[in-house]
Chain A
Amino acid sequence: MKQKNWKELPHAGTILEAGNANDYKTGSWRSLKPRWIEENCIQCLFCWIYCPDSAVLVKDEKMIGYDYDHCKGCGVCAMECPGKKGNKAIVMEEEGK
């Protein structure tokens, strides 16, 4: 994409297109990746509530996985996950492992 010059910028740098943060792939920042272990998941949706980047995908009120384009790998979901009988349903793993 050709970058705009200083005469072409929107006034005061205001972003006029609502929700365009979706176009910015924060997933590339990630060094740790959450892995969802479905058999340990009790569908409490704590991960969905706590995710700061709306990267937990939910369908029909059930956790179904991650939007890895936007998950920054902060690990909050894994920290909050209560798991089942002491076994976490979300674990953080090294990216590229």
Chain B
Amino acid sequence: MGVTTTKTVAVTGNQAVAEALRQLNPDVMPAYPITPSTGIMESFTSFVSNGKVDTETILVESEHSAMSACIGASAAGGRVATATSAQGLALMWEMLHIASGYRLPILMALVNRALSAPLNIHGDHSDGMGMRDCGWIQLFSENAQEAYDNTIMAYRIAEHKDVRLPIAVNMDGFIISHSIESMQFIPDAEVKKFVGDYIAIDPLLDLDNPKSIGALVLPDYYMEHKRAQHEAMVNAKKVIQDVSAEFAKLFGRKYDLFESYRLEDAEVVLVALNSAAGTIKDEVDRYREKGVKAGLLKPRVFRPFPYEEIGAALRNAKAVCVMDRADSYGGFGPMFMEIAPAVFPYRQGPSLFNKIYGLGGRDLMPLDVDKVIDETIEVAKTGKVKAVKEYITVRN
């Protein structure tokens, strides 16, 4: 099986994800467009109007209704997708738990944006981190290419018989959603073949076999249902790796649970999600040229979180700075709270500290990254952390 090559195109992140959705051709797509994910629905509804997809779009009166319609359509037996950001996701929150509890493999394109207040439309991860415990698989994407590839892989992961969970594909609002980048699309026929047909489990529209979903479950059974849901999430880890390996074989681009950038012998490591990883890679290169053993770990899968694998990848580092583009007021950044238990089993593990950056779409410049690397070098040398949690790119 040869690696597919296609011509390079220049598109925005939103256009890339819309193109993936066109190729996936879901049965139903309910949405209530919201900045910065609006472009996805704008492109997609033009595909609907021009007969490029068979999808029925439902323009609803709120995001709560959008997710409710997703749940209904998915329970009926359809392949379903939606797109949202920030406040939209927040309004879906109640229904997010119901989608995962019903084990419905709904696909969400989540264009990350800061939560209000203060009102802000730009990119940070407070929306995505807010859905941490909603039972959704969460994939993060550095650029348009990764957002496209993650979207193409999403149904294969979510619909796997050992998983059957909803999945959210994240990319940074504006920084990626509205910037034009060069990337490659996979031909339609190959996407179709890769994704395959959807076979629903116990669909409500199988009228010969009437059934009920969403029945009341009291203390005698609730906990068993939740335990089973955790197992599905645990299973998702291997499925993500298998699907990614098949994707790499067919299309040449390799993905894993996280990306290791010059990490193998790294003593000084930064951890960051999404677009900031691109800036950090450049700075890691510059420090490597100066002889510093710097590296980056970029998580791709936030739920299920690969604790063992990330712990093993970080255990030999001397100092690790976890960079969070979201905050937990009165707590650490959400990524820090995952990395700490990942390295906890290693008694001789790295010194760990946390930087909060880029909230509300504030830029993370190469010089900001340099300051973090410099401090991480210092911590690696002395083993002393000045402040476990600190804000950078903020006026003091």
Q: Which residue of B lies closest to A4 (CB)?
A: B224
**B224 interface neighbour in A6, A12, A16, Cβ under 8 Å:** A6
**A3 interface neighbour in B104, B209, B212, B221, Cβ under 8 Å:** B221
B211 is an interface residue with CB less than 8 A from chain A: yes
Across-interface contacts of B202 in A (CB, < 8 A): 11-12, 14, 16
B9 is an interface residue with CB less than 8 A from chain A: no
12 new A-B contacts at CB < 8 Å, known A4-B224, A12-B164: A6-B224, A6-B227, A6-B228, A11-B201, A12-B202, A13-B215, A14-B211, A15-B213, A15-B215, A16-B202, A16-B211, A17-B211
B133 is an interface residue with CB less than 8 A from chain A: no
**Among all A-B residue pairs, the 8 with the closest Cβ atoms:** A12-B103, A18-B210, A6-B224, A6-B227, A15-B212, A6-B228, A14-B202, A14-B213
Judged by DSSP, the binding face of A is loop
Question: How far apart sit A52 and B74, CA to CA, in the bound complex (Å)?
Answer: 29
Q: A12-B202, A13-B215, A14-B202 are in contact. Are A7 and B228 (CB under 8 A)?
A: yes
Across-interface contacts of A11 in B (CB, < 8 A): 103, 164, 201-202
Interface residues on chain A, number (Cβ under 8 Å)? 14
Question: How far apart sit A11 and B228, CA to CA, in the bound complex (Å)?
Answer: 9
A88 to chain B, nearest CB (A): 33
Question: How far apart sit A7 and B227, CA to CA, in the bound complex (Å)?
Answer: 9
B101 is an interface residue with CB less than 8 A from chain A: yes
Contact with A along B225-250 (1 / 0, CB 8 A): 10110010000000000000000000
Across-interface contacts of A4 in B (CB, < 8 A): 221, 224
A1 to chain B, nearest CB (A): 11
Most B CB contacts (10 A, CB to CB) among A3, A15, A17 go to: A15
Question: How far apart sit A72 and B71, CA to CA, in the bound complex (Å)?
Answer: 31
Which residues of B47-71 are within 8 A (CB) of A? none
Instruction: Please determine whether B101 and A12 come into contact, CB atoms closer than 8 angstroms.
Output: yes
Question: How far apart sit A16 and B204, CA to CA, in the bound complex (Å)?
Answer: 10
Across-interface contacts of B164 in A (CB, < 8 A): 11-12
B217 is an interface residue with CB less than 8 A from chain A: yes
Contact with B along A72-83 (1 / 0, CB 8 A): 000000000000
Across-interface contacts of B93 in A (CB, < 8 A): none
Which residues of A35-81 are within 8 A (CB) of B? none
Question: How far apart sit A3 and B221, CA to CA, in the bound complex (Å)?
Answer: 9
Instruction: Please determine whether A12 and B211 come into contact, CB atoms closer than 8 angstroms.
Output: no
**A9 interface neighbour in B209, B211, B228, Cβ under 8 Å:** B228
Which residues of B186-235 are within 8 A (CB) of A? 201-202, 209-213, 215, 217, 220-221, 223-225, 227-228, 231
Across-interface contacts of A5 in B (CB, < 8 A): 224
Which residues of A1-36 are within 8 A (CB) of B? 3-7, 9, 11-18
Question: How far apart sit A13 and B104, CA to CA, in the bound complex (Å)?
Answer: 12
B167 to chain A, nearest CB (A): 16
Across-interface contacts of A17 in B (CB, < 8 A): 211
Across-interface contacts of A12 in B (CB, < 8 A): 101-104, 164, 201-202, 213
Across-interface contacts of B201 in A (CB, < 8 A): 11-12
Across-interface contacts of B215 in A (CB, < 8 A): 13, 15
Across-interface contacts of B213 in A (CB, < 8 A): 12-15
Question: How far apart sit A5 and B231, CA to CA, in the bound complex (Å)?
Answer: 13
B125 to chain A, nearest CB (A): 29
